Amino acid sequence: MTDEILIKKALWVRDRAYVPYSNYPVGAALLTESGHIFCGCNVENVSYGLTICAERSAVVQAIAAGQKEFSAIAVAGDLQKPSFPCGACLQVLAEFNKTMTIYIVTDKKIIEKNLVELLPHIFSF
Ligand code: THU
């Protein structure tokens, strides 16, 4: 049930994405161990490089609210085909939980992955 809510929230926040340059909206909903959900969308910038992805935007929301134990994230980008989190977002998510569940939302199906499957060699020191 929580997973369904997480996916609905990712789709809901996707509509809030600020994407005048790529026209590629992404929504992310991050679930904490305590059951809270934090949402984020991509926010683009005219300088392009300052763009923040939806996943990292959700992490920023959660951290600012004092939460850092994450169990899952749902990501809704292109709904026609799977839109996996980029390497930068995977690395940022791995900072908090290297084995969190990642749901990729498409029109037809939900793909479930573990973070280590998408980023098997996480940078660490
Ligand atoms: N984007 C995300 O929001 N998350 C990702 O994991 C990859 C890409 C955004 C950044 C940019 O606004 C748009 O998708 C196209 O690259």
* pLDDT by position in tens, the chain (length 125): 779 999 999 999 999 999 999 999 999 999 999 999 999 999 999 999 999 999 999 999 999 999 999 999 999 999 999 999 999 999 999 999 999 999 999 999 999 999 999 999 999 99
CA separation for the pair 27, 77 (Å, rounded): 6
CA separation for the pair 115, 16 (Å, rounded): 25
10 lines ligand 1 (CB under 6 A): no
68: which residues sit within 8 A by CB, 6+ positions away?
62, 96
Atom nearest to 54 CA in ligand 1: 3
Taking the centre of ligand 1 as the mean of its atom positions, its distance from the CA of residue 11, in whole angstroms, is 15
Q: What's the pTM value of the predicted model, to 2 decimals?
A: 0.97
Positive/negative CA dihedral, 122, 110, 51, 97 = negative
Asked if residues 43 and 28 have their Cβ atoms less than 8 Å apart, the reply is no
